[in-house]
Every structure is written in C-alpha cells, then in structure tokens.
C-alpha cells in the first residue's frame, strides 16, 4: 500500500493545526529574528524584546517597534499566508497558531487563529492594562502615552512574560487533539510554542515541517520539506488552493 500523501492526510483529518513563525512572512519582506539578514542596529531580539529593556529605555524599544510597524505596513501576505487561509476554508476543525505579531495572516483571510505572542497593532496601557488597537503609522511621538498619562507598550509577549492564558490553553488543546500539524517557518527554539509540535506528536498527530533549513523539530517530524514556504505550501496543498483571481480578502 502506498503511503498517503500530505494532501490525503489533510483530506482525511478531522482536525488540522498550523503553527507558524517568522519564516512564513519572510517572503513578504518581513525580517526573521534569528536569520542572517540581521536586525535593526545589530541588536539581538532578545535584548529588545524584554520587559527589562522597556523599563530601561522605552524610547529605544519603541523605535524598534515603530521601525517594524512602518515596514510591515507596506508589506502584503505572500502565497504561504494565502495557502494557509485556503486550508482553513477546506477543513472543518482548524486552528492557526501563529507566533507572528505582524497581522499578515489576518490580511490573507485567516480567521480561526490564535496570536500567541500578541500583535504589533495593539498597545497596552502600563497603568490600566487596557488594550487598544493602534494602526497609526507613523506614531506621532515616541514613546506613546495613554490618555491617562501613563506609558503604553506594544501588546506583545516579551521574553520572561507569560503568554495570554486563553491563547496558550487553546493552543495546547488544539495540539493535543489534532490529526495533522503543519509547522511552518519557525526555528522551534522559543518556548512554549516550540513544545506544541511535540505535544501534537505525543498525542498521535502527523507532524509536517516546512522550513528553509533543519531545526530541532526536524528529527521528530514525520515529514520535512526544506524550501521557501511560499513555494512549498502551494505545492503541498495543490488542489486545496483557491485560484487567486477568485479570492476576495476583505
């Protein structure tokens, strides 16, 4: 008997989970964290994405986020985002778990998604904890302040911070109950997101990795496809993809 293809497995699956990282947005021109392309001013993401860094120099941290917001505002979803949105439309029980904060999955039409690390397009008041959408590009001044006078921060999850409890619970539940888990463009180094494919695997899911290069997950995945997500995913999902000219992304 022939081994079922990925497409067959997806067609037969009751529940499908997709976990994405920065690599899924790389072909949209959004820099990854740990790649060779480097980050702004040669800072390591770990040195800017911490509450300590923000307490030390909120303006510097905001400059980094402002730079990213300006860049991302000019970027569009790529065929990898589109393939994932198409997959959602074809699967009854589906969850996209993204570590990305860029909002490109939503722009591509993904709706059943959990943003594990928050969003660049929301801010949170340090005094009141209120979260508001903020799409202003550029921001009028840095660092920005709330109407109450307190500093606001990006509504993202920094190192050493807990993930939103509802989001991580939903992600664990989905990982434990899915039949197929597709892991795209993540270095699989940052916890707890990196544990999700292992949880899926331990509960019987068929785990497929798509990445430019091997990661710590590769040895455990059932299939690894090395290449650009924007090229590999449309090939893998083949007939599940909608013709782009007929697709309307609100």
Q: Which residues are catalytic?
A: 117
Among 238, 182, 171, smallest CA distance to 24 is for 182
In angstroms, the Cα distances linking 225 to 63, 86, 217, 231 are 36, 19, 12, 11
Where along the sequence are the contacts to ligand BJW (CB under 6 A)? 21-23, 26-27, 32-35, 45, 49, 99, 101, 117, 156-162, 185-187, 189-192, 210-213, 215, 228-229
> Can you give the three-state secondary structure of the chain, one letter per residue?
CCCCCHHHHHHHCCEEEEEECCHHHHCCCCCCCCCCCCCHHHCCHHHHCCHHHHHHCHHHHHHHHHHHHHHHHCCCCCHHHHHHHHHHHHCCEEEEEECCCCCHHHHHCCCCEEECCEEEEEEEECCCCCEEECCCCCCCCCCCECCCCCEEEEEECCCCCCCCHHHHHHHHHHHHHCCEEEEECCCCCCCCHHHHHHHHHHCCCEEEEEECCCCCCCCCCCEEEECCHHHHHHHHHHHHCCCHHHCCCC
Q: How far is the CB of 48 from ligand BJW (least distance, A)?
A: 7
Nearer to ligand BJW, 110 or 215 (CB): 215
Nearer to ligand BJW, 106 or 117 (CB): 117
Nearer to ligand BJW, 22 or 91 (CB): 22
Nearer to ligand BJW, 134 or 187 (CB): 187
Q: How far is the CB of 89 from ligand BJW (least distance, A)?
A: 22
Give the residue at shortest CB distance from ligand BJW.
Answer: 23
CA–CA distance, 184 with 229 (Å, rounded to integer): 7
Nearer to ligand BJW, 180 or 210 (CB): 210
């Amino acid at each position: 008997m022939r081994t079922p293809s990925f497409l067959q497995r997806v067609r037969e699956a009751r529940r499908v989970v997709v976990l994405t990282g920065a690599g899924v947005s790389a072909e949209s021109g959004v820099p990854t964290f740990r790649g060779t392309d480097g980050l702004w001013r040669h800072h390591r993401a770990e040195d800017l994405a911490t509450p300590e860094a923000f307490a030390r120099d909120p303006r510097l941290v905001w400059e980094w986020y402002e730079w990213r917001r300006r860049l991302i505002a000019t970027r569009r979803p790529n065929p990898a985002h589109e393939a994932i949105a198409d997959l959602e439309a074809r699967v009854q029980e589906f969850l996209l778990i993204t570590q990305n904060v860029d909002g490109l999955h939503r722009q591509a039409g993904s709706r059943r998604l959990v943003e594990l690390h928050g969003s660049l397009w929301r801010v949170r008041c340090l005094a009141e904890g209120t979260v508001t959408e903020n799409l202003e590009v550029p921001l009028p001044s840095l660092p920005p302040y709330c109407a109450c006078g307190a500093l606001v921060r990006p509504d993202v999850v920094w190192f050493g911070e807990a993930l939103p409890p509802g989001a991580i619970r939903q992600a664990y539940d989905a990982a434990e109950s899915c039949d197929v888990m597709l892991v795209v463009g993540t270095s699989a180094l940052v916890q707890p997101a990196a544990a999700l494919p292992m949880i899926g695997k331990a509960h019987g899911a068929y785990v497929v990795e798509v990445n430019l290069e091997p990661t710590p997950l590769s040895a455990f995945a059932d299939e690894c496809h090395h290449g650009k997500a924007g090229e590999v995913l449309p090939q893998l999902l083949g007939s599940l993809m909608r013709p782009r000219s007929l697709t309307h992304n609100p």
